[in-house]
Amino acid sequence: MRSLTTIGILDVQGAVREHADRMRAVGADVVLVKHAQDLDAVKGLILPGGESTTIGKLIRKYDLYEPIRSRIEQGMPVFGTCAGMILLAKSIHQQDDVHLGVMDITVDRNSFGRQRESFEADLNVAGLSGDAYPAVFIRAPQVLAKGEHVDVIATYDGHIVGVRENSMLATSFHPELTEDTRLHAYFLAMVNEA
C-alpha cells in the first residue's frame, strides 16, 4: 500500500486543528509543527491564519524561522492562509519588516475595512472544478502587487485574494473554516507533484 503524504501544519497560533482536519479528510497524514525537527517528516507545510506579527515572533522564538525558510527555498510546497499569506510575502504595505519574505507579492493587511472585518463570498478559484468556492474572510489581507511569476487564482471585487508562485500557494481567506475541501486537495496534489 502506498503510504500517505505527510503535511505539516505550523502549530504556534491560529486555526491549526481545522487545517489538520481538512488535510486528513483529503487523505493526508498530518504532523503539527512546533519544533524544527517536526519538519523532517513533512513534504508540505500549511501556515494558518491568526495574527501575522505574533506568528512571526513565535517562529523566531521557537527557532523555526530559518528551518522553514530554507525548506521553502529548497522547494517544499507551502500553503499560507490569511496571516500565513502575510508571512510568505516579500513586502508588506506600510510596514518595514517582513517575515519569511519568500513569495513575490506585496500584501496589505486588514485590507477590507472595519465594516467588512469578516464576511463570506463565493469565488471562482482557478484550478478548482465545480461550483464557486465559499471563501471566509476575517480581517483579511489583499495582494496589492505581484511579480511576473505569480499567478492570480482568485479575486474578490477586483482585489487579488488568491495566488500561486511555483510551489507556493496563498489565500487571503480561510479554506479551513468551510466544509469544502477542494483547496486542501489542490494543495495535496501540488505536494504529490513536487
Residues that bind ligand GLN in the complex, under the rule CB under 6 A: 49-52, 82-83, 86, 109-110, 138-139
Nearer to ligand GLN, 5 or 10 (CB): 10
Catalytically annotated residue among 19, 82, 99, 184: 82
Q: Which is it for the CA torsion 137, 116, 150, 93, positive or negative?
A: negative
- Rounded CA-CA distance 191/187 in Å is 6
19 is catalytic: no
Cβ of residue 46: shortest distance to ligand GLN, in angstroms?
Answer: 13
Query: Is 176 a known active-site residue?
Result: yes
Question: Please, what is the minimum distance in Å from the beta carbon of residue 142 to ligand GLN?
Answer: 11
Q: Which is nearer to ligand GLN, 50 or 67 (CB)?
A: 50
- Distance (Å, rounded) from C-alpha 125 to C-alpha 111? 20
Catalytic residue (one of 18, 19, 165, 176): 176
d(CA 65, CA 8): 15
Is 149 one of the annotated active-site residues of the chain? no
Query: Which amino acid, 116?
Result: R
Nearer to ligand GLN by Cβ, of 82 and 123: the residue is: 82
Contact status, residue 177 vs residue 134, Cβ threshold 8 Å: no
User: Residues 6 or more apart from 37 whose CB is under 8 A from it?
Assistant: none
The catalytic residues are: 82, 174, 176
